Amino acid sequence: MPKQSLNAVQSSTEFEVAGGGLLDRRLFLKQGMIFTAATWGALSSQTATAELDRESWTKQPGKPFSNYGSPSDYEKKVIRWIMANDDAPGNGVSWTPLHELEGIVTPSGLHFERHHNGVPAIDPERHRLLIHGLVKRPLTFSVSDILQYPMQSRLCFIECGGNSNAGWRSEPIQTQVGYFHGMASCSEWTGVPLSVVLQEAGIKGRAKWIIAEGGDASMMNISLPLDKALDDCLLALYQNGERLRAENGYPLRLLVPGWEGVLNVKWLKRLHLAAKPVMARNETAKYTELLPSGKARQFSFVMEPKSVITHPSFGHRLDRHGLYQISGLAWSGRGKIAKVEVSADGGKSWAEAELQEPVLPKCFTRFRIPWRWQGQDVVLKSRAFDEAGAVQPERAELIARRGRHGYFHYNAIVSWAITEAGEISHVYL
């Protein structure tokens, strides 16, 4: 077995770019400079080979082919965590385990869920979309009709407006990243631009809003400004290459890139064009919040820039000194992520992380930065900057602006404190 060679970076300060051990984001490209100091234990390769070849899976045929695959049996712990109403098990949420994942794509089986009355089993042959209200020609579309139209694909995130709401608590929640921030997921969605089918119906001049309604047994509805509908919304039919999963709106959902999740109506059944919003439950009693001024903040659609370090994070434990790669996710509903900065000294100094290509608008962006940990007490933070100029705030700033009665749209900087023993906790700092 090799010794832990990741200690191998010279303990000089040559590559340091900020306090707490943060190193130049290009460091891992300079391999020759880093790893030549490695001192691995020599071992007999004959012995090792013989050992490898003794395993049962080298001795007997494996399982046959499958029509549709599933995760490895050894990965059964990587699941959506469910929090649902005992009396109404279709009402609740399930979270994407972001702390177990890598890259930017969320596998469809782990996309977060938010349902009000369960997942309907809609027959696509019988499903219809109605477009009516302030239109010249009210229309119904079958799914086959919609499949005839020109399509577009885009990789983008969907995030619930209530994601990260534990951040509003007075004490920092101690839980894994996925169960704190995992009401956000990222997929490649394909569908028909909403503008194209609205054009077919003919929009009347007084129309300013679209009331979108789902076809499940909660018949949830919300109001979407017409300008956004004509900008970049899709009638989504495909998710990560295949048709939508039932829990993501099969056979048809609304995709409203960068705006809060509740607008991305699943099992889409009706688009009613109107002069005013409908003032539905989910835009009055819910998804609004009381500000310090006493006024309610309503129709706060855009998901502001957010980032979180996923590795290392709560639930992990640093069990060696040496070199680490800090990695995490950043996203913004306003466009592309322009920059992510990381601090290892609680915000005193910051260094710029590498952004993994592709960097796409309204999409998860993976950031990475090398870090040397030699047992020092540290507080890790990340902050996202988007191309529209918005910056992820410190928690104190967010509370000063929005008050202490918030529940939705929490996007403050997240802080992980790491003790000398390598234990990680969530702190407000």
Site for its own copies in 312-331 (CB under 8 A): 324-325, 327
Window contacting its own copies (CB under 8 A); options: 12-20, 134-142, 166-174, 391-399: 134-142
Q: What's the token pair of residue 58? A: 């080298």
Dist. CA 344–CA 348, nearest whole Å: 8
Q: Which is nearer to its own copies, 36 or 170 (CB)?
A: 36
Window contacting its own copies (CB under 8 A); options: 52-60, 173-181, 375-383, 412-420: 52-60
Q: Which is nearer to its own copies, 219 or 400 (CB)?
A: 219
Among 238, 347, 349, 352, binds its own copies (CB under 8 A): 238
C-beta separation of 402 from 289 below 8 A = yes
Q: Distances in Å between the alpha carbon of 105 and those of 48, 155, 330, 424?
A: 36, 8, 13, 26
Dist. CA 279–CA 281, nearest whole Å: 7
Q: Which is nearer to its own copies, 256 or 268 (CB)?
A: 268
What is the nearest approach in angstroms of its own copies to the Cβ of residue 283? 21
216 makes contact with its own copies (CB under 8 A): yes
What is the nearest approach in angstroms of its own copies to the Cβ of residue 368? 7
Counting every residue, how long is the chain? 429
C-beta separation of 384 from 393 below 8 A = no
What is the nearest approach in angstroms of its own copies to the Cβ of residue 138? 4
Among 12, 59, 227, 374, binds its own copies (CB under 8 A): 59
3-state secondary structure of 47: helix
- Residue found under tokens 């104190």: 396
Among 100, 352, 387, 394, binds its own copies (CB under 8 A): 100
16 makes contact with its own copies (CB under 8 A): no
The number of angstroms, rounded, from the C-alpha of 30 to the middle of its chain's C-alpha atoms is: 31
Phi then psi for 283, rounded to 5 degrees? Answer: -130, 10
Q: How many CB atoms lie within 10 A of CB 25?
A: 21
Q: Taking CB under 8 A as the criterion, which residues in 367-426 touch its own copies?
A: 368, 370
Q: Taking CB under 8 A as the criterion, which residues in 343-372 touch its own copies?
A: 356-358, 360, 366, 368, 370
Dist. CA 355–CA 308, nearest whole Å: 14
C-beta separation of 245 from 111 below 8 A = yes
Binding map of its own copies across residues 196-215, x = CB under 8 A, - = no contact: x--xxxx------------x
What type of residue sits at position 72? Answer: S
What is the nearest approach in angstroms of its own copies to the Cβ of residue 429? 27
